[in-house]
Structure 1
Amino acid sequence: MIKKDVLTTLAELPNLIKVKKLLRPRPGDTRDCLGARVAANAARIPRRSAFVCEGQALDWQQFNAEANRYAAVFRAQGLKRGDAVSVLMENRIAFMVVVVALNKLGVIASLINTSLTGRPLTHCAEITNASKFLFGEECMDAVSDVRDTLSLADGDYLFVPDAGSRAAPPWALDMAAAAAEADAENPVETADIVIDDTAFYIFTSGTTGLPKAAVLSNRRYLLTASVVQVGGLQLTEDDRLYLCLPLFHGTGLMVGAGAAFLAGASMFVRRKFSASQFLPEVRQYRTTAFVYIGELCRYLLHVPAQADDADSPLRAVVGNGLRPDIWHNFKRRFGIQRVAEFYGSSEGNVGFFNLLNKDCTVGTSALPTALIKYDVDRDEVVRNAAGRCQPVAAGEPGLLLGKITPHTRFEGYTSAEATEKKILRDVLQPGDAWFNTGDLMRTVDVGFALGLPHYQFVDRIGDTFRWKGENVSTNEVGEILNLHPQVALSNVYGVQVPGTDGRAGMASLRLEEGVENLDLDSFSTHVHGELPHFARPLFLRIQREIDTTGTFKLLKGELRKQGYDPALVADTLCVLKPGSSRYEPLDAAFHAQIVQGTAGY
């Protein structure tokens, strides 16, 4: 008798073949883009639902027409193919209208994190050379505060209404009013847009408030979205996607919305995630798929269980960061049939996808990759006497690299210097080049898998850790902490917190000569003023000396092992408790709460 595992895997084969066809390289001058796909939906399924959000609903014909009207206004503003526009808006239908309208003209949408203000916001608007700044009514104060720091004229600001409680300021054009009078026909420019054109700039987290702008082409957007649609969620026009991740991030816009755009599926759009409202809304709006990050799944499991939690139309989910410790419980409780876990990044040239619906894996990849030996304690790549890196054995954790080839390009950032820092050269042979993901992965046994190796995420390596869904640069946090007048040197690293995903920040501090005790009030004010919430270290360790290598590189391995356990650390330990803005001494009682998972993190 054929095992059930074999049968279920063989059932995935037709979609796997379709995905393989999608991965065939297309010439860079192939004419295709998101805007063209939306126009095709409007022609093919005009009356099918496209979006539902906050009481507003649009079908594909209505949505396409609205995007066309906005495109006409953008054209009238002098925007053309290759130009860039800063976009600062929360999740709503108007956000989708804006990015599709820009794409129809070949204009690059530079998508800025809506939590940014002040210097970080100015930085994002400047580094992409955006000629216009489009913002939603909900973000008007943040933009108003930085106008004097930008090199834009009053006519370069574009306003999109939201609740309607505030009118467009005199220094900005009301896009909705202008679009109401504009032409709703498909722009002729869309036919000339090619897959090698840049579609979006998507910013990295920006630990210090100074993010990097990752370049995202039409090619990579469409390829990723199509793989998710066909092989991951297996979406059709009969589906509706529950979408609550920020649309300025790649997971929300490319993985989630992208798959729905290409399938012609409907989208239920929510500004922010709510664990308590999730299941009621899934049932009310009949959503069949959901795009997640692991933290959201954990939050959902924290909601008190009900006997009918699995009774909903939800059948498939796609995302990253669903950890093995909650994987099976999440699937079982909410009746999920398909978990399309993936691995990738907005800027990277490598990706893995769980196309065979195997548990606790990010799946497999058709792209050229390597897992090489990495010394975690010394925080460096291991090379042999010839200077080459060494592949790891099966099942052994290794640093994941993606080979840079004409068909797997690393599109990088707008900064050439930042791009080069992510490339390892002369890895396996002289002259080769590989994108350094900064992540440790390993192969795992998932049973019958058509001979395809499957992988599992292990951890971020030394200079970066992931917390609250954001990647945090330890070096950048350290530079900020070192600016405090009492801190001589800081060593930042990630530590595990039970009941949470990723790693929280911890900083070992060496105080300036003559400083006996850290001024916690002053230091707390400094941290909260200079770092976003996800980058603030939760734990501090005050050391007399900080260990380094012979080349003065900070050592983190032993510090990570000892963590914030008062029983293992003789140095002074401090903690930033949930909801608090001030560091305080960490005692054994609160440490016990952290270990038990009841501290509130």
Structure 2
Amino acid sequence: MRAPGAGAASVVSLALLWLLGLPWTWSAVAALGVYVGSGGWRFLRIVCKTARRDLFGLSVLIRVRLELRRHQRAGHTIPRIFQAVVQRQPERLALVDAGTGECWTFVQLDTYSNAVANLFRQLGFAQGDVVAVFLEGRPEFVGLWLGLAKAGMEAALLNVNLRREPLAFCLGTSGAKALIFGGEMAAAVAEVSGHLGKSLIKFCSGDLGPEGILPDTHLLDPLLKEASTAPLAQIPSKGMDDRLFYIYTSGTTGLPKAAIVVHSRYYRMAAFGHHAYRMQAADVLYDCLPLYHSAGNIIGVGQCLIYGLTVVLRKKFSASRFWDDCIKYNCTVVQYIGEICRYLLKQPVREAERRHRVRLAVGNGLRPAIWEEFTQRFGVRQIGEFYGATECNCSIANMDGKVGSCGFNSRILPHVYPIRLVKVNEDTMELLRDAQGLCIPCQAGEPGLLVGKINQQDPLRRFDGYVSESATSKKIAHSVFSKGDSAYLSGDVLVMDELGYMYFRDRSGDTFRWRGENVSTTEVEGVLSRLLGQTDVAVYGVAVPGVEGKAGMAAIADPHSLLDPNAMYQELQKVLAPYARPIFLRLLPQVDTTGASLPHPNLSLHPSACLLIRVLVHLVLL
């Protein structure tokens, strides 16, 4: 019998025994016996083992909700919240560029972002206008989108790995009226200049590349030096539920789609990370993740803008410099994706790897097989593994260090945070429903699709979706928890144990994760097919033992053995980001694009089935 049924039986027995005239103490003991005998002992065991965890999680939830409500009532936005931090500690270090050693105090970040806001207002840009930002992670990146937000404009944060068609697509669909790119990205911009509208105004930030200044491009830095650094006289009429910026994520339609990030979502994600892992204002956070993704820009940089932490940026992860940076800048918190932890473990043992002050590592994708090895070798006391996506409303966090778990939901009070694992057809990933038309919840140990109940009036439950309305509608299902409700479909399969701990199992649909990025199989298939003269192609991810995520496998129809892998790969380097390029090639007489003749994507790679065509960047990946 389930715990609720056991509870009901014990209450009924208590009432009956009391009505029969037995003393309360005897009745209570008898009722407890009925409860335990009916299976309630399992529920008692769950309560004893998880009450402390659940109470802390509830306190985090309440704290974030109260903070958000206070800011909403005050009409605050992320720039307004940041302004209060600047007033408290103007001379404290806000951002550090570990690559150059450049340090920005809070007041310097504030004045730089003020200059950005004043300049774009002066140039005639209006509230709600979109400006694309395309540069590597450094303090200017933060100052640019923050300055645009101060002026009521919205930044479209472009992945620096995008090239040619995907880059042109993202720029075109963003509706951007201007593009700010770093000098290091000039070659990529030059490749798509002919596909950009003539009305798009281009600005170059930082040092110019070997190409020099591109035609019809303005140098941003001299313009910012001439702009006023005073706060804007007229503050935009925006609130916490208005748009802040856009982050691009891979989608099942092929090319990246722009996820909408409103001010309350930015705050919520940063606040949950801050309180769930007990960060303090005195902490120094090391952030070597891309700033065009939410982990680096919200979970990481958000600690600086909202809570006043110093954040040390490195535009690209370096295994050999990681601990040296942490020691040099006295970092106490680091961010990771699973690959980072594995790369660090591959490094030769050095004295420096134990001389740091890091107490907490926050991120996702850390495999259970190396979890404890990482903490023991490097002396990091806590792993803050979490699950989430930029746009999702069902994020979870591992707050008590359960090895392998990416988070939990309370078994005692599951309705406090309305998320659920539901059953799906494993082949089609369609939701399975009961006789009442509702989704069927999974039992402990059963894998299922993670969903989150939507409530647009609640900043913790809302789903803002994407710029594309059709893409947004595809992520929503109805009558999931109850008749007529709406729920967000994560697209990810997880499994929950008896205590409510959740474990990531697989990514469903037409995407897989590789090197910390989501890869769209549809996008890669389209590119390959065009390169090969509309040849039939099927792309899918395959598991490689000892490696996080899945490596790309391309099955290509080549009945006459005419394919030149080297020539194909050279072309792929021009049009696909490194993480999106297939690692393996499978040549077949014909390709069944329905997937009937392809291996199930959950199967591990069998070496004899494939031809290795190229190892990307590091042999350690395989």
Relative to the length of structure 2, the TM-score reads 0.82
Q: What's the secondary structure of 2:452's corresponding residue?
A: strand
Shift of 1:170: 6.5
Match of 1:288 among 332, 338, 349: 332
Q: How does 1:248-259 map to 2 (within 5 A)?
A: 248-259=292-303
- Give, as a single letter, the amino acid of the residue that structure 2 aligns with 1:434: A
- The superposition leaves residues 229-277 of structure 1 with CA deviations (integer Å, 9 ceiling, x where unpaired) of 1222x33331111111111111110111112321201111111110000
Instruction: Measure, in 2, the Cα distance between the counterparts of 1:459 and 1:94.
Output: 36
Distance in 2 of aligned mates of 1:162 and 1:42? 28
Between 255-264 and 490-499, report the one with greater CA deviation.
Answer: 490-499
Residue of structure 1 in register with 2:612 after alignment:
575
Gaps of 5+ in 1: 447-452, 581-596
Cα distance change, pair 532–208 in 1 and its aligned pair in 2 (3 A): farther
Q: Is the 8 A contact 1:291 1:319 kept in 2?
A: yes
Distance in structure 2 (CA, Å) of the matches to 1:240 and 1:559: 40
Identity across the alignment (%): 35
The equivalent of 1:506 in structure 2 is: 553
Q: What are the Cα deviations for residues 359-416 of structure 1, in whole angstroms up to 9, with x where unaligned?
A: 3212235642121123334554434566543211112111111222222222111111
Q: 1:173 to 1:6 in 2, by over 3 A?
A: farther
The counterpart of 1:371, out of the listed 402, 408, 421, is 421
- 2:5 aligns to what? none
| Structure 2 gap segments, 5+ residues each | 1-46, 410-415
In 2, the alpha carbon distance for the partners of 1:120 and 1:393 equals 41
CA distance in 1, matches of 2:146, 2:601: 47
Distance 1:164 1:483 in 2: 31
* One of 446, 466, 471 as aligned partner of 1:396: 446
Write out per-residue CA displacement over residues 66-123 of structure 1, whole angstroms, 9 at most, x where no aligned residue.
2112211111112222111011111111111111111111210110111223222222
Amino acid at match of 2:536: L
Note if contact 1:83-1:107 (Cα within 8 Å) is conserved in structure 2: yes
What SS does structure 1 have at the residue aligned with 2:353?
Answer: coil
CA distance in 1, matches of 2:529, 2:74: 49
**Aligned pair partner of 1:561 in 603, 610, 613:** 603
2:255 — aligned with what?
210
Contact 1:29 1:194 in 2 (8 A): no
- Determine if the alignment matches structure 1 residue 124 to structure 2 residue 170: yes
Tell me the equivalent position of 1:463.
510
Residue 98 of structure 1 aligns to a residue in which SS? helix
What is the Cα deviation at residue 558 of structure 1? 4.2
User: Partner of 1:585 in structure 2?
Assistant: none
- 1:23 is displaced (CA, Å) by 2.6
Higher alpha-carbon deviation: 302-311 or 86-95: 302-311
Mark the CA change 1:387 to 1:488 in structure 2 (over 3 Å): closer, same or farther: farther
What is the aligned counterpart of 1:20 among 54, 62, 77?
A: 62
Match of 2:476 in 1: 423
Pair 1:496 & 2:543 matched: yes
- The 1:15/1:284 distance shift into structure 2, 3 A limit, reads farther
Match of 1:36 in 2: 80
Cα offset, 1:459, TM superposition: 1.2
Task: After TM superposition, give the deviation of residue 526 of structure 1 in Å.
Answer: 5.2
Alignment of 1:173-252 (within 5 A): 173-190=218-235, 192-205=237-250, 210-232=255-277, 234-252=278-296
- Are residues 555 and 438 of structure 1, via their aligned partners in 2, closer, same or farther at CA, if it must alter by over 3 Å? farther
Following the alignment from structure 2 to structure 1, what is the Cα–Cα distance between the partners of residues 210 and 367? 42
Q: Does 1:104 align with 2:150?
A: yes
The one of 349, 356, 376 aligned to 2:393: 349
Partner SS, residue 345 of structure 2: helix
- Give 1 or 2: higher helix fraction: 2
In structure 1, what is the Cα distance between the partners aligned to 2:565 and 2:212? 43
Distance 1:75 1:426 in 2: 46
The question of whether the paired residues in 2 share the 8 Å contact of 1:496 and 1:503 is answered with: yes
Whether 1:538 aligns to 2:583 is: yes
The CA distance in 1 between the partners of 2:484 and 2:596, in whole Å, is 29
Match of 1:63 among 103, 109, 131: 109
Measured in 2, the distance between the counterparts of 1:49 and 1:526 equals 44
Report what 1:432 is aligned to. Answer: 485
Cα pair distance change 1:261/1:358, threshold 3 Å? farther
- What secondary structure sits across from 1:276 in the alignment? coil
Residues 207 and 477 in structure 1, CA contact (< 8 A), matched pair in contact too: no
1:592 aligns to what? none
- Deviation digits for residues 277-330 of structure 1 (CA, Å, limit 9, x no counterpart): 001111011111111111111111111123552331111121111111111111
How far did 1:600 drift?
5.0
Secondary structure of residue in 2 paired with 1:413: coil
User: How much has 1:504 moved relative to structure 2?
Assistant: 0.9
TM-align CA RMSD: 3.2
Distance 1:90 1:409, change over 3 A: same
Distance 2:454 2:130 in 1: 26
- Counterpart in the other structure of 1:141: 187
Contact 1:161–1:168, Cα closer than 8 Å, also in 2: no
- Report the Cα distance in structure 2 between the residues aligned to 1:319 and 1:562, rounded to whole angstroms: 25
**1:472 matched to which residue of 2?**
519
**C-alpha separation in 1, matches of 2:252 and 2:440:** 31
Residue 484 to residue 138, structure 1, CA distance change in 2 (3 Å): closer
Counterpart in 2 of 1:444? Answer: 497
* Number of matched pairs: 563
Report the equivalent of 2:43.
none
Looking at structure 1, the residues matched to 225 and 388 of structure 2 have their Cα atoms a distance apart, in angstroms, of 39
Q: Is the 8 A contact 2:583 2:616 kept in 1?
A: no
Give the TM-score normalised by structure 1: 0.85
Q: Structure 1 residues 475 and 486 mapped into 2: Cα distance closer, same or farther (>3 Å)?
A: same
Partner Cα separation in structure 2 for residue 379 and residue 207 of structure 1: 13
- Compare CA radii of gyration and give the structure with the larger one: 2
Pick which of 382-391 and 363-372 moved more.
382-391
